[in-house]
Amino acid sequence: MKIQWRDALCIDNGPIDADHKHLIGLINELLDLKAHSSRDEKFIEILNKLKAYTVVHFRREEELQKAAGFPRSEERRVGKECRSRWSPYH
């Protein structure tokens, strides 16, 4: 079942929502591939794109939170955990 973007998911009508829409698109591509194909190399390619973009997204969220003066939050901790698992450049 594909993920559908809806207004209830909206955060800022800006870069964070654009990131979330892109991430949902990548997840939906993975779901389509698994449902209609056995092309494991394409699945791995899209999974790697998803992992890389997730790292970019969490970094962007953390920078925006810092610029807005947000206190240290659970979301920022999750982003660091994500980068430590998926990126050699965290």
**What pTM was estimated for this model as a whole?**
0.70
pLDDT 10s digits, 63-76: 888 888 877 655 55
What local confidence, expressed as pLDDT, does residue 25 receive? 95
Both tokens assigned to 54? 């997730």
Residue 83 above 60 pLDDT?
no
What's the pLDDT at 58?
A: 86
Contact 31, 1 (CB under 8 A): yes
Q: What is the tens place of the pLDDT at every residue in 6-61?
A: 999 999 899 999 999 999 999 999 888 877 766 778 888 998 999 999 988 988 88
41-30-47 Cα angle (round to 5): 60
Asked if 51 and 89 touch (Cβ cutoff 8 Å), the reply is no
